[in-house]
Amino acid sequence: MSILVCGSYAYDNIMVFHDRFKNHILPDKVHILNVSFLVPELRREFGGCAGNIAYNLSLLGEPVLPMATVGTDFGPYADWLTSCGIPDRHIKVIDGAYTAQAFITTDLDDNQITAFHPGAMAMAHENRVDEAEGVSLGIVSPDGYEGMVEHAEQFAEAGIPFVFDPGQGMPMFDGETLKKIIDQATWVVVNDYEASLLQERTGLSPHEIAERTRAYIVTRGGEGSLIHTREHRYDIPAVPAQRLADPTGCGDAYRAGLLYGLRRELDWETTGRIAALMGAIKIAHHGTQNHRFTADEFFQRFHEAFGYRP
């Protein structure tokens, strides 16, 4: 039985500007802004929430089925999936569209200017959850609006437990839609900033969200994470990283660890710690899919960090 990961595949084009934006943007001229930044450093990384989550699950040895819509430029990414042993039978190519792409420019103060082209992601609703066979668990991660809404409904109708991860898609949802999906979902996971938005838009407290689901998980970066259930709140510590190279994709790595624990029906303390270690491993590497480990290596690190093996 596999984990169905609904979400986006994207190319992340990451550029570094060897100066500071503030030296080139005049506050009294922003109404006629016309600037150009020389970016001698450029990396093109494989990304997207579904891509990152599926990659991390494959490192843990979990059977995973990503579901996404991509463009006709997906060839290099498809080759990468094949080399990683990740199936692509539920990744649909949309003719005449590009794969979703982010263009991120970072300056020397770590400020970022990002442009995002959704491309084929907007057609995510053309995929259906019931097209995938042998699914025991799923996640609805950031994707096209219609796709997220419909995939949540389809998981619920099929009786498949799933995680709702609104992530960067949060601005697309109003409070009533969020409450509807929360009621359909088995678990909800957000970061601390997204938690504030979710609670503000729905008018629900963390305890009230936990009462509507089996658990409400809030990640807090270096401060660890909180797992709210109907009966208890678990404080999960962060794992010290070997180095702080790049936080991009840490949330997706955490979610892969979360799905690993849920599929294996581990207790919340262990599930949260697996997720935390996944994030710590990822942050030590640039890009979202450049870290490597075997399952044995991972659980050796888990033992070193927490003193026991799951």
Phi, psi of 169, rounded to the nearest 5 degrees:
-80, -5
Q: Are 103 and 87 contacting, i.e. CB atoms less than 8 angstroms apart?
A: no
For 2-9+50-68+128-302, CATH gives: 3.40.1190.20
Indicate the burial class of 168 (C-beta count within 10 angstroms; 0-12, 13-18, 19 or more): middle
Q: Cα separation of 84 and 308, whole Å?
A: 29
Say if CB 274 and CB 237 are below 8 A apart: no
Cα dihedral 84, 85, 87, 92 sign: positive
The residue type at 218:
V
Distances, alpha carbon 287 to alpha carbons 29, 110, 131, 220, 292, in Å: 34, 15, 31, 20, 12
Cα Rg, the chain, nearest whole Å:
19
Q: CA 49, CA 100: separation in Å to the nearest integer?
A: 11
223/226 Cα distance (integer angstroms): 9
Per-residue pLDDT tens, the chain, 310 aa: give them.
Answer: 899 999 999 999 989 899 999 999 888 878 888 989 999 989 999 999 999 999 999 999 999 999 999 999 999 999 999 999 999 999 999 999 999 999 989 888 878 888 999 999 999 999 999 999 999 999 999 999 999 999 999 999 999 999 999 998 999 999 999 999 999 999 999 999 999 999 999 999 999 999 999 999 999 999 999 999 999 999 999 999 999 888 889 999 999 999 999 999 999 999 999 999 999 999 999 999 999 999 999 999 999 999 999 9
pTM of the complete model: 0.95
Q: Structural domain boundaries of the chain?
A: 2-9+50-68+128-302
